[in-house]
Amino acid sequence: MSPTIVLDRLFALTGTPHCEYVCVTGVHGVMEAQRDDELRRILNESMLTVPDGMPTVWMGLLQGYRNMSRVYGPTLLLDVCKRSVTTGHTHFFYGGATGVANELATRLTRQFPGLRVVGTYTPPFRALTGLEEEDLRTRVAAAQPDFFWVGLSTPKQERFMAAHEGKLQTRVMLGVGAAFDMHSGRTKQAPRWMQRNGFEWLFRMLQEPRRLFWRYARNNPAFVLRAAMQLAGVKPYRIGADR
Mean of pLDDT over the chain: 93
Query: Would you state the pLDDT for residue 153?
Result: 87
pTM: 0.93
| Proportion of the chain above pLDDT 90, given as a percent | 80
Cα separation, 94 vs 175, whole angstroms: 10
Query: Would you state the pLDDT for residue 237?
Result: 77
Is the CB of residue 81 less than 8 Å from the CB of residue 55? no
Please report, for the chain, the start and end positions of each structural domain, with discontinuous segments joined by +: 3-194
The closest of 88, 100, 145 to 118, measured between CA atoms, is 145
What mean pLDDT do residues 13-35 have? Answer: 93
Cα separation, 236 vs 149, whole angstroms: 34
CATH of domain 3-194: 3.40.50
The closest of 54, 51, 3, 46 to 29, measured between CA atoms, is 51
Cα separation, 137 vs 156, whole angstroms: 18
Q: Dihedral through CA 80, CA 85, CA 86, CA 92, nearest 10?
A: 60
| Proportion of the chain above pLDDT 70, given as a percent | 98
Eight-class DSSP state of 115 = -
Query: Would you state the pLDDT for residue 65?
Result: 87
Query: Would you state the pLDDT for residue 242?
Result: 47
Name the most confidently modeled range: 3-12, 60-69, 111-120, 230-239. 111-120
Outline where 95-208 has alpha helix (H): 100-111, 130-143, 156-164, 179-183, 192-196, 200-207
Edge-to-edge strand order for the sheet containing 116-121? Answer: 48-51, 20-25, 172-175, 147-151, 90-95, 116-121
Query: Would you state the pLDDT for residue 243?
Result: 46
Cα separation, 200 vs 189, whole angstroms: 8
- Residue 240 pLDDT more than 60? no
88-146 tens-digit pLDDT:
999 999 999 899 999 999 999 999 999 999 999 999 988 899 999 999 999 999 999 99
What mean pLDDT do residues 176-185 have? Answer: 93
- Residue 39 pLDDT more than 90? yes
Query: Would you state the pLDDT for residue 224?
Result: 94
6-10 long-range contacts (CB < 8 A, ≥24 apart) are 6/48, 6/50, 6/71, 6/76, 7/76, 7/79, 7/80, 7/83, 9/48, 10/48, 10/80, 10/147, 10/172, 10/174
Query: Would you state the pLDDT for residue 235?
Result: 81
pLDDT category at 239 given cuts 50, 70, 90 is low
